[in-house]
Each structure stands twice: as C-alpha cells, then as structure tokens.
Amino acid sequence: MMPRGWCIRTILWGACLGGAAPANAAGPAPDSRPAGQRLYGEHCLSCHQADGGGVPNMQPAIAGGTWVKGDARPLAMFVMSGGFDSASRKDSSVGNVMPPFRQLADADLAEILTYIRQKFGDGASPVTAAEVAEARRSLPASP
C-alpha cells in the first residue's frame, strides 16, 4: 500500500507532472515536482492553498493580485519581510499576518517567486537568485 501522503500529492499535483509518478511500493516516491512547486508546497500552500486563492477572512489570494505579476524586487522584499501588523490594519478583511520568509535561501525564494508568477501571475517573468539577493540587500536589518 502506498503511503497516504504520496497518494494525495499524486492527486493534487499529478496533473502538473505531465505523467504518472513512479510507483514505489517500498517507500515514499521521490519528490519529482519542480523545485518551485515543491517549495511552495512546503512554505506557502497551507495558507494560500494549492490554487493560490487563499482562504476568505484568513489569508488573501495570491492569484488575481497585482503584486505577484508586478516588479520582482518589491515582491521579493514583501515575501522576505512578511506582512506587518499595526493598528491601521485592524480593519483588514483577512485575519492572519504573513510571517517573513527571509530565512529561505536566495535560490529557493527565486524558485518560489518564479513558480507563483508563472502559475498565479499570468506567466509573469521568472525571478533569479541574483534579483532576490539584490532585494535582500534593500531590506532593513532583521529586528
């Protein structure tokens, strides 16, 4: 019997793999998803969901927004900084504040940003690790 997680991932992502994932009855199948998709699954998906649509009243959608398909630099800076909680945001329609993801490596952030731009941002241009590194240099020092 295949591990449950393997089956679910196959259902959710099988369409994106372009073919059947290798069956491996002895243990979990190797994760052959593209790096950006895998990293999105690890760090972003539980809040923003597989379709990038977010959760009403909880987390906003990535898909359909302007940030995801705008300039790479402010997008990278936002993801590294996270949302900010302040009195002025108490009227926001979403409950949760996004944590910062500056702990991720430039290359991994570039994979995630490229993935969300391709999938949720009308195919906006890829983001390189060098662009993420440049954006990182513009961030205020970590608190």
Q: Which residues bind other proteins (CB under 8 A)?
A: 4-5, 8-9, 12, 41-43, 45-47, 49-51, 53-56, 58-59, 82, 85, 89-90, 92, 94-97, 99-100, 103
| Shortest separation between residue 17's beta carbon and other proteins, angstroms | 14
Nearer residue to other proteins within complex by CB, 35 or 71: 35
10 Å Cβ neighbour count for 79? Answer: 22
Residue with smaller CB distance to other proteins, 72 or 116? 116
Question: Taking the complex as a whole, how short is the minimal distance between the CB of residue 103 and other proteins, in angstroms?
Answer: 7
Q: Which is nearer to other proteins, 5 or 123 (CB)?
A: 5
DSSP 4-40: HHHHHHHHHHHHHHTSPPPP-TTSPPP--S-HHHHHH
Bridge-partner residues for 59, per DSSP? 55
The CA distance from 54 to 43, in Å, is 14
